[in-house]
Amino acid sequence: MAKKNVFKIITAGDGDVGKSALIQRYLENTFTDKSQQTIGVDFWLKDHQIDGEDCTLQIWDFGGGERFKFLLGSYVVGAAGALLLFDLTRPETLNGINEWIEILHKGAPNLPILLIGTKSDLGDKIKFQDETFHKIQEAYDIFDLCKVSSKTGENVSEAIEVLLKKILKKDYQHLLRKKQELNYVIDSFINSSTSGYFVIQVEEILNFIKINYDIEFSLICSSNSLVLRGSLAIR
């Protein structure tokens, strides 16, 4: 049976930005207007299939209150990815992102962080310009931005999938399995091919890797009169 990917995902961001609403929409497809502050941290499990991979998400939804920040620092250890939320209608909720990122990366260096702008349903009240995101990306290690509405559901599951795809690309075990698969594919066609056919197939495989994997690679080939062999190396 294929090994399951278990990923710890955590939420971060100021109070009231909509962290719990996002998780509730994702888990139950429901929304409530009532504000209920998260005290400490809530924990959820959810199976999610993506790109043919079975994943189990351990979702840790943190309270954004100042007094809970100390919790995040220790709980982030072992996390695979983070959702860092701010409120599109309250630009001041971006002011503290450096502090959130510092806490996250201290406990989990290289953690992929997806920035999420919430409450995109609030039309005229939105005070966020896309140029702001480019400045944020220049200053901080954040790989992408998604704008969501937990009220309407717009982009909610898409945002989770953006993070999951990033995690899968980074996940070393996953890469290793894919590398073995690819080596097997290469070996099997090399053993049954003429050299001309081999060149065409290699192009296809390299393109496939470029599109699907976040890795640098090189193809090492050698030949004798009868057999060509190749292998992929992660640099």
Ligand X SMILES: Nc1nc2c(ncn2[C@@H]2O[C@H](COP(=O)(O)OP(=O)(O)OP(=O)(O)O)[C@@H](O)[C@H]2O)c(=O)[nH]1
Task: Summarize as ranges the residues that interact with ligand X (CB under 6 A).
Answer: 15-21, 32-33, 35-38, 63-65, 118-119, 121-122, 149-151
Smallest distance from Mg ion to CB 190, Å: 54
Question: Which range of residues in 19-27, 98-106, 176-184, 185-193 is near Mg ion by CB under 5 A?
Answer: 19-27
Are 63 and 12 in contact, with CB atoms under 8 Å apart?
no
Touching Mg ion, residues 29-48 (CB under 5 A): 38
* Chosen from ligand X, Mg ion, none, partner binding at 54 (C-beta under 5 to 8 Å by type): none
Give the CA distances from residue 196 to residues 101, 189, 199, 204, 209, in Å, rounded to whole numbers and listed in that order. 50, 12, 5, 13, 21
Q: Closer CB to ligand X, residue 33 or residue 204?
A: 33
Q: Closer CB to Mg ion, residue 89 or residue 118?
A: 118
Q: Closer CB to ligand X, residue 5 or residue 150?
A: 150
* Chosen from ligand X, Mg ion, none, partner binding at 18 (C-beta under 5 to 8 Å by type): ligand X
Check residue 93 for interaction with Mg ion (CB under 5 A): no
Q: Across-strand partners of 222?
A: 229
Q: Kindly give the interhelix angle for 172-191 and 195-212, rounded to the nearest 10 degrees.
A: 170
- 3-class DSSP assignment, residue 2: coil
Contacts of 199 (CB under 8 A, 6+ apart): none
Check residue 58 for interaction with Mg ion (CB under 5 A): no
Query: Can you tell me the distance from the alpha carbon of 22 to that of 86, in angstroms, rounded to the nearest whole number?
Result: 12
Q: Across-strand partners of 84?
A: 12, 115
> Which residues of the chain form contacts with Mg ion (CB under 5 A)?
19-20, 38
